[in-house]
Each structure stands twice: as structure tokens, then as C-alpha cells.
Structure 1
Amino acid sequence: MQIQHQVHTAAQQPERAAQLREGDVYRATIKERKGNDEAVLSIRGREVVAKFEGGIPASDRATIQVTEPQGDVIRVKTLHADGQQPRTNEQGSTGRQQELNQTLRQLGVQQPTPELRQAASILMDKGIPLTKEAVQELQRFMNEGKPEERLQTVQAIANKRLEVTANHLRAVHEALHGRPLNQVMTDLAREMDPEFKPQPVEREGVERDANRSREVMPQSAREHIDTLMRQNGAFSSGTIEQVERTMRQPEQLHQLAREQLSGSLSTLSTSVQGNQAQLQQTLSLLEVVNHAEKTLQREPSLEKVLQQIQSQLSGHQELTEAIETDLNKVMESARDFQEKGRELKARQELSTMIQQIKEVAKTSEMQSLTVEANTYVQNEQFQTSVEMTSKSIAVTTVTEKLAQMTADFKSLQRDITRNLDLVNRQIEQFRSQAQHHSKPLLETTIKKLDNAILRSEMMLLADMRTERQLMQASSQLHEAKKLLGKGRHQEANRIVREVQQLVEQLNFKPSETKIMHYTAANERALREAQLPSQSFTSQLNETARGPVQEGSPRAMFEMVRGLGLNRDSEVAQQLASGRDQQQQDSSQRDLKTTLLQLARGEEEGSRVQQLASQALNNVTGQQLLSRSDQQGNLQSMFFQLPFLLEKKVENLQVFVNSRNEGQQVDWENCSLYFLMETPKMGEIGIVVSATERQLSVTLKNDKADFQAKMEPLVEMAVEKLGEIGYSINGIKYTHLSSETEKTEQETEKSRQQPVFTEKGFDFKI
């Protein structure tokens, strides 16, 4: 699947090579001479016609300063030109320093430091313009900290061809060399809520992973014992019995615990059911309705919901005959919807009925109270009704969305199968010449499919199987496109037919977990006050918990959106579409937007304001470092993603190198480096290199038992990667530091973050 590069910032405008300003200093190449004082110059990859003050320099490379940028022919003057005769290394170094000194003096710095000269040289060699303002900011920046780190920041700005401004320098430096984003955000959350504790993922997911790991470990033990028996011949019967008994113990203990727990729950359930009638009679109708309401919200099984609501409400002495008749009708209707697989609609019907009964209960109860108590109850009931109205609206919203998504999926299905059928017929008709006729429609189909996976709302609720099948279809169509380009039309046609059949058989199946998550998010959005200080902790917790479904690319994309890494491009799209500011603010619920509000709204210099600004700079720096280079053939990206690990927010650093294919990352040919700090295993690095969808993976850590602990997890990951079209070339394990025998201090020095070079990030450790 082709991943579109969507991370932008407001600074990412088209290159300004043609928008030269008076006083800007550039390194220019003379492409064509037109007389004694006029020439065609190449500046930042664009050609402009320039008139030289004092004549054109003899050499083809020169440092020039713009004196008059207006008009079709700009005016420039030469600050210095490359010499015609080759220099020795020493002469060349001295000469370059003199040239840089002269340039910097022209821009207001009379005594430049060696670090400033080096920074200016880096920028000019990349075609970045130097102005008086830029040099002043650069001088201030270079004097504030470690020169080596500061030069790495300047190199990153030059490689991304960013304008030299205080904001760019500060943001990029914070992302590369500042405190990890997870630490800053955790401190900010605790500053606003001293009791902030990240919430772990759902218990079901933890138990599922634990069960799977438990199954993997006994299986590995059995295989290991079988190997020993084959290698060493027969063991004594006593030894074999002891081994088998030992292997059975974990499973037996686990089974015993489950049986005991099941028995306890059964006893408790029987006890509750036995007393339920007496609960029923002593509680008021309003209390019974509240119980029924909680049952509807919390019980995942609709069948149990129907049973419990029936037993809780039916026959209550405060229910009128008419209301009880309506209740029975709704229960029958809900069961009909359940049989048709429309569970959300059934729950919506029940919710509406419960609200009606609740209103009746309120009226009845309020009539029997004194005036003072009645006032208190009214206030309390109002607060409760606001929350439940939010719940009702949220469920209604999800139901409507689900119906629309189902229709959208069927429409997508029809469009793709129709397109693939046409591609199939074109290939059969034109055979070896099919590439010219079929390629445009095939590319359109791939783009439509990829957009559905990453951009449409369908994948927000689709189950994991459907999402992976769509990814597999995209991967196969990319392969068919390549085969067409090689003239292998029969193989391409076979793949197109297979994908067509796959898409035709797809069925849009929403995931229950995703539906619950989506409903909760809508309810929270309706209930929560929109104050940044109140929403930040919940947003951080949501982002740190990561994708709801393991292995889901769409969930991962939503996590990146939640952090705000593509906020600016989405705001620009909203402005272009003509939406008003209020709509934009309500639709932006990402962390970057909240950080902007905190940085602007809190008292200047306060701890909250400082932390919000620090985190904001980090996020903006990531956006700048992930900027698409219009002039380069390579694309590099950098992310710091907070993730929850053992009830603590940790930091996952992601470095990406790829070919630049029209602002797209080439997913079939790219390199990724993941770097994370874990409480038990320490720092872990994972290098993934993809070449024609063949993956080479290297896992790095300094612990002696690292490989043994990782292998079961790697096996699961390999299986998932295979499902979406990748195959593994090889997996290697190595040390993170170059020499494990080094002292702790030396080892720490030997570890380095990937350095931002001209070709992207250097992953060497």
C-alpha cells in the first residue's frame, strides 16, 4: 500500500527560489553568459536572469548578493568567486574561511566564530539564503549550547531546505536534542493534574496476549525437550514422567484457578438472582431504571442485556399498564433487530425506552418530595440527564455513521470491482501493449483503495480481517502494475482477477472493540468541557495507549493524527474548503492544537506555559524534519511517539529513509529505525530494511537474554507482515553498543541517535 506523505506545517510552502529578497546571499552557478554583465544563474535549483554590478566573475561558481530583486532581470553583486587555479588543502581551507568572513561581514558580523562560519557554509552549500536577520538568529543560536549538537541542527535545516528563522532553529533543535516528548508531556499532565496516571489498555487485550504467550512458551518447552531426547537417546521412564508432570503443572494450575473463579462467580450469580426479586420491590422505579441503564452501557452481550432489563423493569409496581405494554413491544423489537445482526439499532431502541421510563420516574418521585428536597433532586436529575443525553446522542451518531459507512463500503466495492473488470478486459485485448491502456485506470484504482484504507471513516470501525484484506489487495495491485511494466501481462491479469474476486467477497464487518471505542470518544467529546487544561490529560492518555487494534495501519495513522503531526495540512484544507473558524476548532481535537492553546492561554513564564511551549516545539520540529523535499530524490521522516508501557508513558523514536516518489514514501523500498527505552530490557533498536517487499530486520540490545525473549514476539510479527504482502529475508540480533565490555559511561557515549545526513538518517550505532 502506498503511504502518502501527509505531515506538513505552515512553513512548508513551495520553494522560494524565484522570490528573492534584497540583501539575500546565495551560492549561485552561472549557467549561461549573456555579454559582460548579464547571465543566467541557477539559484536553489531554479534559473533566473541576473545583471552583475561590476561584471560577471570568471568562474562558474560564486557567492552573490541580491541588490534589486524586482523585474524580469534581477540585479546582483559578487561577494567572492571560486578561483580558477586549484589550491592546496591548507590554502583552500584558508581561502574558504576568508570568503565566509567576507560574506558574514557583509551581513553584519565583524568577528564570526569558527562555529558560525561552519554553520553558514553548511547553509550556503545547500542553497539556503543568508540575510542579516538570518545570520543574527544563527549567531545567537550557535552561542547558546553545545556546538556539535547545534551544527547537527543546522545541517538538518539545510538538508530540508528550511528558511533560517528562530522558530525553525528552536523547533528542530528541540526535536533532535531536547528532552524526549513523553517526559515533557507527562510533566505537563502532572502539572495540571498531580494525580495523573496513564490508564492501561483494556484487560481483555492483556489477558489475550498473556494466554497467547503462555501457549507459546509450553510449545517451545516441548520442542526443546523433543530435541534433547533425539540428541541423547532414550531417557529413563522416571525422568520422562517427571518432565511431563512439570510441563503439566502450569496448565493444571491455570485450569484450577479458572475453575475456582468460575465456581465463585456462579455462586455469586445465583445469590444475586435469588435476591433480585427483593431488590426489585424495595428500590424505587428511578433506581431500577438507573440499574437498567448501567446494564445497557456496560454489558457487552445484548442477550444478557435483554434478560436483565426484562427482570429489572417488568412488573414494577410504579409502572403503568401503558408503559409496560410499550416496554414489551420495544423488547420484542430489540430481539428482532438482534436476530438481523443490527445490535446497535437494538441498543438504541432500548436506550430511548429507558429514557422515557426515566422521565416518568422523575415526575413520580418529584411529586412525593417536599419543596426543598424537590429543588435538590431537580438539580441532581438535570446533571444526570445531561450526561445521559450525551450518551444517547453519541450512540445515535455512531448508528448513523455505521449505516453511512456500510453504504460507502458497498459503493467502494462496486467501483473497484468494476474498474478491475475493465482492466482485466483491457489486458486481454491489448496483451503486450496493455501497459499504456490499462496503467492509468489501475493506478486510479490503487489510489482509491489506499485512500479508503487511510482516509475514509470506514476503517475506523472495520474489523482487522477486512482491513488486512484491503491492504493485501492494494499490495497485489502494485505487483500487477509492476508486471505490466515488464510486459508480463498474463501474470498481471491473473493477479487482477484474484483481487477482483477478493474484493467481491468482502463483507463490511464492524469490530465490536472499535465500535465501543468510537462510541466512547463521541460521548466524551459531547460531555467534556473544551478547556485545554481539562482535555490534555485525556488526549495524552488516548494517544499513549496507541492503536486500539493491534497491527492496524489505520489506527496507527489515527494515532499520528491525534498527536497533531498533520494538523497544519488539515487546517489548510479546511480553510480552502471555506469552513468557518468555529467548525475548524471543533474538528481539531489533537494534542498539538491543545498545546497551542495552552502555550497562548497560560500565564507567560508559568510552568504549564513553559512545558506546553517545549512540547509544541518538539512536535513542530518533527513536522519540519518530516518535510517533503521538492528538489531531492530521497525522503526522510522523524517521529517521537509516546506509548504506554507498564503504566508509564515511554518514547518511541521512528526514523524513516525512502525514495521520494511525488511526496510519497516508497513502502516497498525503504529503511526504518525504531529506538525505544524499556524498563526491563533497557534501550532497544530495531532496523527494518525493505527491498522489493523483502524485509531484513536487525534487533539491537545489550542484554544477554534479549534474543530468547524476543523470538516468540518476532514470530507473531512475521506472521502479521506476511498477511499484508511482506516476506522476511532474514532476522539478526546484535548488540546496541559497539563493544559490550565497555564501562557503563563509555557504553553510553558509544550510543548515538541516528544522525541527519544529506542522504537521510544514518542508522549506524
Structure 2
Amino acid sequence: MEIQGQLLHRKENTSERQANLREGDIYRAKIDSRTSHHEAVISIRGQAVKATFSGTLPENDRIMVKVEQQTRDGIRVTSIEGESRHNKLQTRSSENQIDRTLSRLDQRQITTELRQATQQFLDRDVFLTRESVRELNRFLHHGKGTLDQRLDTVQALANKGVEPTTANLQAVHEALHGKSLENHIRQISQSDVKESIREILQSDVKSAGRQWNKLNLPQNNGQNKFHSNTPANQSRFSAWQQTIANEANLQLAIEKIRSEVSNQGLPQDILQQLHQGLEQAYDFLQKGRELKARQELTQIILAAQRNMPQSTAPVTTGEQLPQEVLQYITNQIMQSGNVPSKDILITEVTERLAKATDEFKAFQRDVTNQLSRIQILIQQLKSQGVQQTKPMLETVIRQLDQALLKNNWLLFTDMKTEKNVLEASSMLAKAKKHLTQGQHEQARQIIREVQQTIDKLMYKPTNQRVQHFISREVSWLESKAPAHRLTQEFDNTARTLTHNDGSGRQVLEGFRSLGINREPELAQLLANGKGHEAVDQQRNVRTVLLQMLRGEEDSGRQQQLQQALQNLSGQQLMAKIDHQQNMQMLMLQLPILIKGQAENLQVFVNSRNDGEKLDWENCSLYFLMETKKMGEVGILVKVSERALNITLKNDDPTFQSKMEPIAHKYVDKLKDIGFQFQGLHFAPITEEQGSHEVSKQENGHKELKPTMTKKGFDYKI
């Protein structure tokens, strides 16, 4: 399933909407624009309509209106004011109004759950059709999960202002209550590898023998040197090769084999040989060359097996193939191909870096020139120049933010340069405030400092980031089995999100490699005539899943792939920003590495709109994840004017003593990107149930996970 960009907007159906506005009915409305003392454009159930008020316009934008008459130009309404009267009328008419609405949409069986859900969507001006109400009712009573989970999904969808179609309901439900994306991908990859092994192992023994002969391998006739080890040794080395073939996460396979190698009592030379091979494989993996790592490790294990003291050869059967045949099987699964020549790769990297250098120089020249002009205008015009210089300053701030988000030159430079650009954007925001308050000299001083900072920037690509780019290029140019490409891209995403030196741009690249913002960015590139740059936007987990789904015929595998895509689509919807709403609520699931294993990190964001972006200087973030040793860990971050208050939440009584020294160590790094640290707090992640409450869990505790409300994600402490 794929949710396109247009699904993130509400559909228009003027005739059906107009029919839903009945004379005498009372509606919640929002004043979009005031045209006179008696007229305004208001939004009712997602429809923008011209309204003439019987009295003067109310002061508040959120109002209750009674439709008196429909006119050619719009409607004539009466504003219902007064809290007590509002509540009385709402209590008396709301339920009947919902029932009438559902009846007009051909919904005959109206349940309490459907009435409640419909009210939530209408309160957020979400347009409902006959089909969407039918799907909403079906989901409420026959969807996956418990009723509470389904109601939670409906509330989340309504609060995001998204129409309750089948696709949207399933996607958000999967993101909120289904398995994590990490679990889906591991299952897909493991089933793919196991199925390939099973098919090859079940092939005719004669066919295996013919493939063995193609490799020009020595026959095991008991007379030549491919004498086998003892049965115990044979089983040991065979198990390691099976681990390499079966384990989708190669880093886990390396760690498992390393721990087993040390406990097997092998000869010293064999141990040294295996440890060197494990280190080589790990190095290849860190460089993004998973295929090479698997092949090298397989060959090392095979060579070590040959160097073991020989014994009587075991009988070879269809269930116990020779090691060389197992190696052939492994190579077939990997589907290795020819990597492009070194010269082509060097040319590609050189061209990218040359283009990035030109982009940086153009950016630097343009920004410094604009800042110089702004300084001159402020000095000459002072207060009279605010209206002229303020838009110019906003343009420069957008340029800096654009560089942080999308300019390719920032992908190759060091973290210091990225921090300088981030700091420059923040300083110009302060200068804008000074300018608005009439403090012209303070604003001009800050602008001069920013200009000097930008002018002194030196563009020096770092080896680490260039090597990362090269490894990704090679990875996508190599021919690989889809399941292994999927695993590698997912693991690369987890590494990017975990090991990024605090780089905001690298975190954004992690989002992109998941494919969460794939459709909007593709549409933007095509709209701007940059279709040639769309190739990079196709290199992500979502694209690989879509390709696998198109070529999959097995119904079981199709379901696995669909669920993984629904998880990503649900995250897209939960991360949708509605600029018409002041408060924004976002939810994401991100893979991060903990001891080499990708774990699921849930991220909840509350923030207000700041123009076309979120107000990151004033927001709340909540991070929630499950750990093997400490159980659930929550991190609540509240930001007010860049001042941070952090609360770490866990039920382990030793949590604070273990985490406090580590937390203070990392909190100090926040100062490098312009935040001020105010306080560190600790709290449990669950609370005791009162005696009058019925516990829903056997341990008598109430779990406090974030729930979506109209005011944001509610995460109690």
C-alpha cells in the first residue's frame, strides 16, 4: 500500500458538503478571514463558505453558529455566544445532529462508538462521505486489536484531520498498535533467506553434485586431501555458515560466532585465523559492504575448517551437504554481481564534490551580500526601514534553513560547519526580534557577526562523510537479493540515526532513507524540474518494500510486506503537518542501534507552528523505547526559549544512580547547538492503581504511554 501526497489533503465535494449544512442546525465553525463587521469566510466541516452574521462578528475565531438561511453567495448565520448557553445547546442538539448526519449518509445502525467517532471527525472539520463512514463503522467493530486500540486509532486520525478511509485507518493502526518496522523487516528478510536455503537443500542431490562439479572442487572419496573433520567439528563449522546465511543482521551473526569461537577449545592458529576473519568482516560491514563481509567470513570459516586436524570422513547425505556446496548455496542466495569499476566510482565522487563546492560558494556569496545590504539599510533608514529589511532578513533565514535541510554540500562537510550554519540561523532570528522591537543597533551588530561567520567558512569535505557516500553508492550499484538490500538499507538507516555526531542533517537523512517523506520530496523535485535528482529519493526502505511487493506472488509474503508499508504510511500520516492548526502533534518510529542491534524508538512531538515550520525553540518531545535490561525507558524533553528540562522515566529502583552520571555527560553536548540546560529529573514510567480502580494489568500498575488528545500527546509523569 502506498499513500500518495494527495491523500494527505482533504477531498473536495462541494455539492455534498453544501447539502449537509441545513437551516436550523448548529455547527462549530472557524473564522478564516473577516471581510467586514458583518461578513466573514468561515470553515464548517472543512468547507470554506461566505457567511453573513445577523449581528457583529464575534471576537473569537472558534465559534458556534446557527444556520438561518442559505443564500446564493453563502449562508446567513447567528453566532451563539456565552459558555452556558453554548453547552446547553450543544448538549441538546449534538447527538440528534450526528444522528441526522449519519442517516443522510445511509448509515442505519448507529452505535455509540460510531456516533463518538463521527463527532471527533466533524469537530475537526473532516469531510465524511458514505464510503468513509461505512469503512469507519466496519473498522470500529471488526478491525484488528481491542476496541480501546481501535478507538485510539480513530482519535489519532481525527486529530490529524485525515479522512477515515480503509487505507488510512489500517496504516495509522499499524503504526500505533502493530509490530515495529524493525520486526517486520527482520521477518521479511529471514523468511526470504530461509526459503532460498530450503529450496536449494530440497533440490535433487544429483543436481547439487553437478553444481559442486561446476566449482571444480575435489571429490570426497576418502583418498584425497577434502577429508572431513570429526562429526562434532563438522557440525560446528556448518552451524556457523548457516548463521551467516540465515541471520539477516550480519552484525549479530559476527558477534554470535565470535562468542562461540572463544569457547570451542580450537587450536591457537585456527582461533587466530577466525578472529582475523571476523575483524575483516566487521570492517567491511561498517563500510556498508555487507555482501563482501558475508563472502569473506564464509571463506574464512571454510579455510579454518580445512586447516583443522583431519579425521575419518563422514558420509555425505542430502541433509548434510559438503562445506563447498554450502558455500555455493550462500553465494547463490547473495546473488552477487559485478561492482562498477573503480574509475567510474572515482569519477562519480569527483563530480559530486565539484558540484557541492560550487553550491557552497554560491550560497556563501549570496548570503554575505544580502546581509551586507541589510546592514546598510538598517543604518540608513533605522525605524523607517523595518518594513523593508524584515522580509529580506526572513529570506536569508530561509536560505540558511534550506542549506541545513537540502543543500548537498552539507552532506560532505564537517559537523563544525553544520553547527555554524545552525547558529547563524538562530542568531538572525534574534536579530529579527530586535528589529521588530526597534532595537536597530543590536540587530545590526548581530547581522554583522553572522556575516563574518559565514564569510569565514571554509568548505572542507571530511573523509568520513565522503566514505559513507561511497559505500552507499557501491551498495546500490551492486546486484543483491531484495531481502538483503532491504536489511542493509534498514541497518544503514539505524547507523545514520545513531552515529551522527549530533548532526541534524544526518538525522534528516535517516528519515529519508526510511522513505517517510519520499512522496512529498519526489513531487517537489518534479514540480521544480529536477527530475534527474529523483534517483536519490528512490534509495530507501520504502522503495525496496514496494519493489518486493510488486514482484511477490506468495500471499503470506505479500501480507508481511503490506504490513511493513502500512507502518511507514501510518507514520507519514501521523507526521503530517496541518498549517491551519496552531498546535502540531507528530509521531515517528525510528530504528537506533543498541549494542549492534536495531531497536525501535518511538518519538512524540508537540509544537506550535512558527510560520512554515515547527517552533523548535519551544516544544515538547517524548522518546519511548523498550530495553532488554531496564525495560521501558522514557525521555521527556521540554523546551522553552531554548531552555531544556529533561525527565528520565523508568521503574527500576537503580535507574537514577546508573543513569545520572551518563545523562549529565551527554547533556553538556546540548550547549554546542545553542540550548541551555535547566534541570534533570527522574520519575517512574508507571503509576500505582488506586484501590477504587480496576487494574488492566496483572501486576497492578497502570502503564502511562503517550495518548493523542486535541491539545497534544498526553504523557503524564
Tell me the TM-score normalised to structure 1 length.
Answer: 0.66
The aligned amino acid for 2:127 is P
- The number of residue pairs the alignment matches comes to 565
Aligned residue for 1:703, secondary structure, equals coil
2:98 aligns with 100
1:751 aligns with 703
Distance (whole Å) between structure 2 residues aligned to residue 764 and residue 298 of structure 1: 41
> Are the counterparts in 1 of residues 515 and 540 from structure 2 also a CA contact under 8 Å?
yes
Aligned residue for 1:641, secondary structure, equals strand
2:16 aligns with 21
1:420 aligns with 371
Distance (whole Å) between structure 1 residues aligned to residue 659 and residue 82 of structure 2: 60
Question: Cα deviation per residue 1:157-196 (whole Å; 9 max; x = unaligned)?
Answer: 2222212211111111111222222222222222223423
1:441 aligns with 392
Residue number among 493, 506, 511 corresponding to 2:462 in the alignment: 511
Distance (whole Å) between structure 1 residues aligned to residue 185 and residue 132 of structure 2: 31
> Are the counterparts in 1 of residues 8 and 573 from structure 2 also a CA contact under 8 Å?
no
Shift of 1:674: 0.8
Matches within 5 A, 1:184-583: 184-194=184-194, 195-199=246-250, 387=338, 389-529=340-480, 532-547=482-497, 548-577=499-528
The aligned amino acid for 1:130 is L
Residue number among 683, 688, 711 corresponding to 1:734 in the alignment: 683
Gapped regions of structure 1 (runs ≥ 5): 1-7, 32-38, 52-58, 204-267, 269-293, 301-379
Question: Would the alpha carbon gap of residues 420 and 101 (structure 1) be closer, same or farther in structure 2, given more than 3 Å must change?
Answer: closer
The aligned amino acid for 1:600 is R
Shift of 1:566: 0.6
Q: RCO higher in 1 or 2 (8 Å CA, sep ≥ 6)?
A: 1
Matched, 1:761 2:697: no
Aligned residue for 1:546, secondary structure, equals helix
2:173 aligns with 173
Question: Would the alpha carbon gap of residues 505 and 88 (structure 1) be closer, same or farther in structure 2, given more than 3 Å must change?
Answer: closer
The aligned amino acid for 1:591 is V
Matched, 1:699 2:648: yes
Aligned residue for 2:686, secondary structure, equals coil
The aligned amino acid for 1:588 is Q
Larger radius of gyration: 1
Shift of 1:509: 1.9
Shift of 1:435: 2.9
2:5 aligns with 10
Question: Would the alpha carbon gap of residues 593 and 25 (structure 1) be closer, same or farther in structure 2, given more than 3 Å must change?
Answer: farther
> Are the counterparts in 2 of residues 391 and 523 from structure 1 also a CA contact under 8 Å?
no
Shift of 1:46: 4.6
Shift of 1:656: 0.8
State the superposition RMSD in angstroms: 4.2
Shift of 1:747: 5.8
**Aligned residues with identical type, % of pairs:** 40
Shift of 1:738: 2.2
Tell me the TM-score normalised to structure 2 length.
Answer: 0.70
Question: Would the alpha carbon gap of residues 92 and 656 (structure 1) be closer, same or farther in structure 2, given more than 3 Å must change?
Answer: closer
Question: Cα deviation per residue 1:126-153 (whole Å; 9 max; x = unaligned)?
Answer: 2223322122111100002422222222
Question: Would the alpha carbon gap of residues 689 and 140 (structure 1) be closer, same or farther in structure 2, given more than 3 Å must change?
Answer: same
Distance (whole Å) between structure 2 residues aligned to residue 539 and residue 104 of structure 1: 46
> Are the counterparts in 2 of residues 390 and 527 from structure 1 also a CA contact under 8 Å?
no
The aligned amino acid for 1:526 is L
Shift of 1:629: 1.5
Distance (whole Å) between structure 1 residues aligned to residue 597 and residue 547 of structure 2: 25
Q: Pick which of 663-672 and 109-118 moved more.
A: 109-118
> Are the counterparts in 2 of residues 23 and 65 from structure 1 also a CA contact under 8 Å?
no
Question: Cα deviation per residue 1:744-765 (whole Å; 9 max; x = unaligned)?
Answer: 9466852232111112211225
Shift of 1:554: 0.9
1:182 aligns with 182
Question: Cα deviation per residue 1:509-537 (whole Å; 9 max; x = unaligned)?
Answer: 212111111111112222235x6445212
Question: Would the alpha carbon gap of residues 17 and 526 (structure 1) be closer, same or farther in structure 2, given more than 3 Å must change?
Answer: closer
Shift of 1:24: 6.7
Distance (whole Å) between structure 1 residues aligned to residue 462 and residue 533 of structure 2: 29
Shift of 1:44: 3.3
Distance (whole Å) between structure 2 residues aligned to residue 477 and residue 141 of structure 1: 49
Question: Would the alpha carbon gap of residues 24 and 730 (structure 1) be closer, same or farther in structure 2, given more than 3 Å must change?
Answer: farther
The aligned amino acid for 1:598 is M
Question: Would the alpha carbon gap of residues 496 and 99 (structure 1) be closer, same or farther in structure 2, given more than 3 Å must change?
Answer: closer
The aligned amino acid for 1:500 is Q
Residue number among 624, 632, 637 corresponding to 2:581 in the alignment: 632
The aligned amino acid for 2:655 is F
Residue number among 590, 602, 610 corresponding to 1:653 in the alignment: 602
Question: Cα deviation per residue 1:230-252 (whole Å; 9 max; x = unaligned)?
Answer: xxxxxxxxxxxxxxxxxxxxxxx
Question: Cα deviation per residue 1:710-742 (whole Å; 9 max; x = unaligned)?
Answer: 234333433322112111121212221224999
The aligned amino acid for 2:679 is G
> Are the counterparts in 1 of residues 706 and 715 from structure 2 also a CA contact under 8 Å?
yes
